[in-house]
Amino acid sequence: MPKISWVVCTYNRTELTDEFMEHNLSNMGVEERPELIWIDNGSTDGVERLWEKYKPEVIIKRQNDCLSKSKNAAYAVCRGDYVLDLENDFFMPDNWLKDMLEYAEAIPNTGIMATVVDGWEELLTLEYTTPVQTINGKNVIVCRAIGPRMFSRKVFERCGFLIETYGLYGNEDIEISDRSARAGLTNYIIPSMFSDHRGIGQWDCGEYRMKKDEGLKYNKVDLPKEQVYYNPYVSSK
């Protein structure tokens, strides 16, 4: 069984995705490549050539209607103890996977971990308000883990997958982090790890604040389980 599964979710931007794959595969800091789960949401710019080049273990094709549904379909077939979820425009630092694994295995009850993202400095004042803590020799900021992240399988086993009621895009990253924390898992940012988000322009801090506030309200809504997330691990009782 693989130690790590890596979900790659695409919709066009094939050239950028190729750069993303080459960069991040070359500087993982580990010898064994993760299990690669590639889900494509109807790309029309030649993504098939990347499948030939990178040879993912699983390819899933679906329509571009809901990011959460796409990622949940990928999570459902991941076999690893940890699941990487990197949007295809995040370029990671040297030895990024080696370092993330060391953190995950050093910190008890790791749920979701993420890096700091270059250009999101103002977000630090909104979200990363807790001080840096040292846990088993590792410096972390315990908070919502959003951005390029790695899940422990414990998150899916205890909480299920992403909420699917936001539409094409939404607040699913914040919601799953909150749900994971309520399940007793530790979510954190690694303050010494910075990734480069090349696919967007300047960070819209106001948009993040609105997204965060909506998420806090949404968490209080009592939705039927089948509308909240697809979860093959937890009984439907």
Structural fold of domain 4-220: Spore Coat Polysaccharide Biosynthesis Protein SpsA; Chain A (3.90.550)
Using the predicted structure, report yes or no on whether residue 45 has a pLDDT greater than 80. Answer: yes
The more confident residue out of 220 and 215 is: 215
For the ranges 22-31, 57-66, 100-109, 193-202, the lowest mean pLDDT is seen at 193-202
> What value does the mean pLDDT take over residues 88-107?
96
The more confident residue out of 4 and 129 is: 4
Length of the chain in terms of residues written: 237
Map out the domains of the chain as residue ranges.
4-220
Q: What is the pTM of this model?
A: 0.83
> What value does the mean pLDDT take over residues 101-120?
90
Q: How confident is the model at residue 123 (pLDDT cuts 50, 70, 90)?
A: low
Q: From CA 7, how far away is CA 56, in angstroms rounded?
A: 10
Question: What pLDDT score was predicted for residue 203?
Answer: 42
What lies within 8 Å, CB to CB, of 38 at 6+ separation is 8, 10, 50, 51, 54, 56, 58, 59, 60
